[in-house]
Amino acid sequence: MRTKLREIFGSDPLQWMGKEVTVCGWIRTARGQKSVTFLEVNDGTTALNLQVVIGAEIDPDRKLLPLLTTGSSVKIRGSLLQSPGKNQALELRAEVVEVIGFCDPARYPLQKKEHSFEFLRTIAHLRPRTQTQGAVLRVRSALAMATHLFFQERGFFYVHTPIITGSDCEGGGEMFRLAPTPDNEGKAHDFFGKPAYLTVSGQLEGEILALALSDIYTFGPTFRAENSNTSRHLAEFWMIEPEMAFADLEDDIECAESYLKYCVRYVMAHCKEELSLFERSLEPGLLARLEQVISHPFARIPYTEAIDILKKAPRSFVYPVAWGVDLQSEHERFLAEEYCKKPVVVTDYPKELKAFYMRENPDGKTVAAMDLLVSRVGELIGGSQREERLDVLEHKIASRGLRKEDYWWYLELRDYGTVPHAGFGLGFERLLLFVTGMENIRDVIPFPRFPNHAEF
């Protein structure tokens, strides 16, 4: 039976002392000395490598040695013993060594210890084997688990909304359209009888389900055809969208703050090795920053006040600031990183800046919107209370030049037993940037899609 390295490193080393185990993995480094060979083996289940010691008696005529190369896959049986080295408590004294798949060192691209993230992006089939990528992927898995635990513990139901959709939720014209398909005679036609798109958000369908089940959340792939070649945008990303019936903007903000804190706490408890790796190699001070996030209430600023703060900021911005302009990443980061020095929720944006579905405030100028801004990333969450008044919504749809017929079902939800409701969307990859200290969103999703890039 194979033992995963996570089992060995995840418990008290004393418990493993003297135990016979079989481990499998890929060689990270190999050092052949006169009578003994040292391997660093990793199986992707933990950030830590297992040191394997192969004595001369295992390989008396040195036939094995040339096969023990970086990248080769191996299966090793042996005993775990106390290590005299200062880097690890345990090492594996090999008794049987099997090379499962040889890896030619003359051609294998992952030879060096450190490769640039740009280079690694060109070999997305191999980069998950690197220490940093492995750690990112394990944190990604943990954050998915934290998401389900948080919402399930609060009584939310996990629902699935369609990936192919006919409705434009955000109204930004950033949808990927499905190409017409040939019919039996080879003539191109719209498969669904009308134009169809990849979804930009599951929110509208999520509202349908919340207005039947009370509290729901979606967690799925989302697509935006915006030509944003930035370190914060992807053409395909994952979004978590809770939607709550009988809830207002306050409930929405409370849920968003609790959810983010839950995620950070969960990763701090379950991904210690990964976080200390990021702290060492990516962002000194990461753990202190995360500790800050969970131990203080988030700041809150209405949009109008945020504009005043930005106008008085002791620095200049590339994009000028005035009431009515959308906040740019530089403004968002200033507010979170420098002014508040913690996550900040900006509320009540001008209605012209936001989507048609947001609830209009009594001032007639702003809507009950909220964006959660954090350091390094800027906007991590966008949400709002939804317009539940039929007449107001009808008016909004008309005034934006949208077609009432396209939203007939959305309007009927307001006609048949309407209730106040609210929700938000969190970009999963931006959460990963925030928690890991990684700089580029293309490095926190295994197969990134962005303009001119859809490899694999």
CB of 418 to ligand 4AD, least distance (A): 18
DSSP code, position 233: -
Q: Which is nearer to ligand 4AD, 126 or 225 (CB)?
A: 225
Judged by CB under 6 A, the stretch of 41-49, 101-109, 290-298, 380-388 that binds ligand 4AD is: 380-388
- Closest C-alpha to 25, from 9, 8, 4: 4
| Cβ atoms within 10 Å of 45's Cβ, excluding its own | 16
**Minimum distance, C-beta of residue 169 to ligand 4AD, in the bound complex (Å):** 5
Closer to ligand 4AD by CB, 223 or 334: give it: 223
Q: How far is the CB of 233 from ligand 4AD (least distance, A)?
A: 4
Q: How far is the CB of 433 from ligand 4AD (least distance, A)?
A: 10
Residue 9 or 334 with smaller CB distance to ligand 4AD: 334
Which residues between 206 and 265 bind ligand 4AD (CB under 6 A)?
A: 224, 233-234, 237, 239, 241
Q: Give the Cα separation of 169 and 69 in Å (integer).
A: 52
Give the one residue of 348, 379, 388, 443 binding ligand 4AD; rule: CB under 6 A.
379
Question: How would you class 173 by CB atoms within 10 Å of its CB: exposed for 0-12, middle for 13-18, buried for 19 or more?
Answer: exposed
Q: Which stretch, 66-74, 104-112, 257-265, 376-384, contacts ligand 4AD (CB under 6 A)?
A: 376-384
Strand order in the sheet with 378-385: 157-158, 215-223, 236-245, 421-427, 378-385, 369-374, 344-347, 299-302
CB of 54 to ligand 4AD, least distance (A): 46
Choose the stretch contacting ligand 4AD; rule: CB under 6 A; options: 124-132, 329-337, 392-400, 421-429.
Answer: 421-429
Q: Site for ligand 4AD (CB under 6 A): which residue of 25, 71, 427, 448?
A: 427
Are the beta carbons of 98 and 75 closer than 8 angstroms?
yes
Decide whether 131 or 199 has the Cβ nearer to ligand 4AD: 199
Does residue 201 belong to the site contacting ligand 4AD (CB under 6 A)? yes
Query: Does residue number 331 form part of the binding site for ligand 4AD (CB under 6 A)?
Result: no
Q: Rounded to an integer, what distance in angstroms lies between the CA atom of residue 340 and that of residue 375? A: 10
Sole binder of ligand 4AD in the list 25, 71, 383, 420 (CB under 6 A)? 383
The smaller minimum CB distance to ligand 4AD, of residues 71 and 425, is found at: 425
Structure tokens at 311: 């106008």
Please tell me the count of residues contacting ligand 4AD according to CB under 6 A. 22
3-class secondary structure, 244: strand
Q: How far is the CB of 34 from ligand 4AD (least distance, A)?
A: 53
Asked if 378 is part of the footprint of ligand 4AD (rule: CB under 6 A), the reply reads: no
- The contacts found for 272-278 with CB under 8 angstroms, 24 or more apart, are 273/9, 273/46, 273/47, 273/48, 273/135, 274/47, 274/135, 274/136, 274/138, 274/139, 274/436, 275/139, 275/436, 276/47, 277/47, 277/131, 277/132, 277/135, 278/132, 278/135, 278/436, 278/437, 278/438
Q: What angle do CA 189, 194, 195 make, to 5 degrees?
A: 90
The CA-based angle 304-308-309, given to 5 degrees, is: 115
Binding residue for ligand 4AD, selected from 381, 397, 435, 444, defined by CB under 6 A = 381
Question: Which one among 257, 332, 348, 429 touches ligand 4AD, defined by CB under 6 A?
Answer: 429
Residue recorded with tokens 């036609």: 189
354 binds ligand 4AD (CB under 6 A): no
Q: Report in angstroms the alpha-carbon separations of 345 from 84, 119, 290, 378, 384.
A: 52, 36, 17, 11, 12
> Closest CB to ligand 4AD among 420 and 423?
423
Six-digit token string for 441 = 């969103």
- Reading the block at residue 382, the tokens are 């966008």
Which span sits near ligand 4AD by CB under 6 A: 176-184, 279-287, 317-325, 426-434?
426-434
CA angle 354, 360, 363 (to 5 degrees): 115
Among 71, 78, 423, 448, contact with ligand 4AD (rule: CB under 6 A): 423
Q: 403: buried, middle or exposed (CB in 10 Å: 19+, 13-18, 0-12)?
A: exposed
Please select the residue that binds ligand 4AD; options are 203, 366, 375, 385, rule is CB under 6 A: 203
- We find the least distance from the C-beta atom of residue 381 to ligand 4AD, in angstroms, to be 5
Closest CA to 263 of 444, 437, 131, 140: 140
Per-residue binding string, ligand 4AD, 140-179, x by CB under 6 A, is -----------------------------xx---------
Residues at the site binding ligand 4AD, with contacts judged by CB under 6 A:
169-170, 201, 203, 224, 233-234, 237, 239, 241, 379-383, 423-427, 429-430
